[in-house]
Amino acid sequence: MDRAPAAPPANLFRRLRIKSRQIMLLDALDEHRNLRRAAAAIHTTQPAATALLQQLEEGLGVPLFERHARGMEPTRYGEVMIRYARSVLHDFEHAGDEMAALVAGQAGLVRIGTVMGAMPVMLTGALARFKDGHPKVRVTLQVDTSDLLIPGLVRGDLDVVLGRLPDQFEGGAELEIESMEGEPMAVVARPGHPLFDRPKLKIADLVAQTWILHPTGSPMRRRIEQALQEASMAPPPDIVETSSILATTALLESTDMISVVPLDVAQHYANYGMLAILPVKLPIAMAKLGVLTRKQKELSPAVRAFLRTLKESILESRLGR
């Protein structure tokens, strides 16, 4: 029985000088699983690519790929190196974006990802305060579900995420997570919806409605299905799936559909008369929100300043309750 290679020493990467071409080769090999095509992708010859890979494997003391007649498959060591290689390449791509912002007279770049529930109160106030103090920092904002945002954070496409870890997510060890409170949920419909005329409305009264829900597999969708299950209800048979709050509010305003959104979101739109909160409670809240960043990632001054502002706003919000 073959013995597993000894683990590389902890200080190996301080001594091992990994070339940029080797990083590019790892990424290309993962994509093409063929040395000839990977070499062509990084504009080198197959013998040169073979030498680059051999030097890297000898320096690490472990095999990174298994050679087969059908191509090359990464070993578990190779998968680790590929993940870090892609992270490095992502970081350099975004370094170009940040430098372009500086050339344009801006004072840095902050890339934020957030779930819908954090927008109306938590993030809006923090972002307004941050821009007051840092008007030249370019901010990009992506609103989506956690199962899409967090992989983007791990890849390096985002600097900070306000979200929650999806069930069975395997990248949590790579993240710094500062947990906050769970979000209460609200069932919403248009003002004047026939359900408001029913006395003592129950969850069971909603089963025949058309529901607007987040896509299957998203954390919010799983929580809603769990809540219905606890209320001894089967999932509603009539569903429109979207994570877009614009699509949700437009459909709710013009139809008798209903939806489930975080309470802060519901109250925000109810204040403008666009939605109304149905007098029924789901027996479960969303998973706790968290402020997520990557471990072992040096944050830019602009991102650090935004995080300070965000955490100050969250603390003030908690003390004000």
CA–CA distance, 135 with 179 (Å, rounded to integer): 28
For 169-203, what is each residue's pLDDT tens digit?
555 677 888 877 666 788 999 999 999 998 888 88
Alpha helices in 160-203 (DSSP H): none
Instruction: Name the strand (E) or helix (H) holding 246.
Output: helix 245-254
Q: Do residues 129 and 164 both lie within one domain?
A: yes
Q: Do residues 116 and 233 both lie within one domain?
A: no
Q: Do residues 199 and 268 both lie within one domain?
A: yes
Our count of domains for the chain comes to 3
Q: Do residues 136 and 67 both lie within one domain?
A: no
Q: Is residue 273 part of a domain?
A: yes
Q: Is residue 95 part of a domain?
A: no
CA–CA distance, 270 with 194 (Å, rounded to integer): 17
Q: Do residues 29 and 78 both lie within one domain?
A: yes
* pTM summary value: 0.61
Q: Is residue 99 part of a domain?
A: no
Would you say 87 and 155 are in contact if contact means Cβ atoms under 8 Å apart?
Answer: yes
- Write out the residue range of the structural domain in which residue 37 sits: 12-86
Q: Do residues 196 and 167 both lie within one domain?
A: no
Q: Is residue 152 part of a domain?
A: yes
CA–CA distance, 181 with 317 (Å, rounded to integer): 11
Weakest-pLDDT range from 51-55, 65-69, 122-126, 220-224: 220-224
For 249-295, what is each residue's pLDDT tens digit?
999 999 999 999 888 889 999 999 999 999 988 776 666 778 999 88
Phi, psi of 228 (to 5 degrees): -65, -35
Q: Is residue 235 part of a domain?
A: yes
Q: Do residues 150 and 27 both lie within one domain?
A: no
Q: Do residues 251 and 118 both lie within one domain?
A: no
Q: Is residue 282 part of a domain?
A: no
For 15-27, what is each residue's pLDDT tens digit?
567 788 888 999 8
> Could you tell me the CATH number of the domain that includes residue 158?
3.40.190.10
Q: Do residues 192 and 250 both lie within one domain?
A: yes
CA–CA distance, 274 with 139 (Å, rounded to integer): 28
- Residues 6+ positions from 33 with CB-CB distance below 8 Å: 71, 72, 73
Q: 160-163 and 239-241: which strand pairing?
A: unpaired
Q: Do residues 61 and 125 both lie within one domain?
A: no
CA–CA distance, 205 with 184 (Å, rounded to integer): 20
Weakest-pLDDT range from 29-33, 253-257, 258-262, 317-321: 317-321
Closest CA to 165 of 79, 282, 286, 309: 286
pLDDT: which is higher, 136 or 228: 136
What pLDDT, on the 0 to 100 scale, is given for residue 251? 96
Query: Of 29, 55, 86, which residue is a domain's last?
Result: 86
> Could you tell me the CATH number of the domain that includes residue 67?
1.10.10.10
Q: Do residues 163 and 34 both lie within one domain?
A: no
Query: Of 54, 86, 118, which residue is a domain's last?
Result: 86
Q: Is residue 93 part of a domain?
A: no
Query: Of 32, 57, 86, which residue is a domain's last?
Result: 86
CA–CA distance, 162 with 290 (Å, rounded to integer): 6
pLDDT at 317 exceeding the cut of 80: no
Q: Do residues 177 and 189 both lie within one domain?
A: no
Q: Is residue 234 part of a domain?
A: yes
Strand spans (E) along the chain: 65-68, 71-74, 109-114, 138-143, 160-163, 175-182, 185-189, 211-213, 239-241, 258-262, 276-277, 288-294
Mean pLDDT along residues 127-151: 89
pLDDT at 94 exceeding the cut of 60: yes
What pLDDT, on the 0 to 100 scale, is given for residue 5? 55
Closest CA to 212 of 181, 254, 183: 254
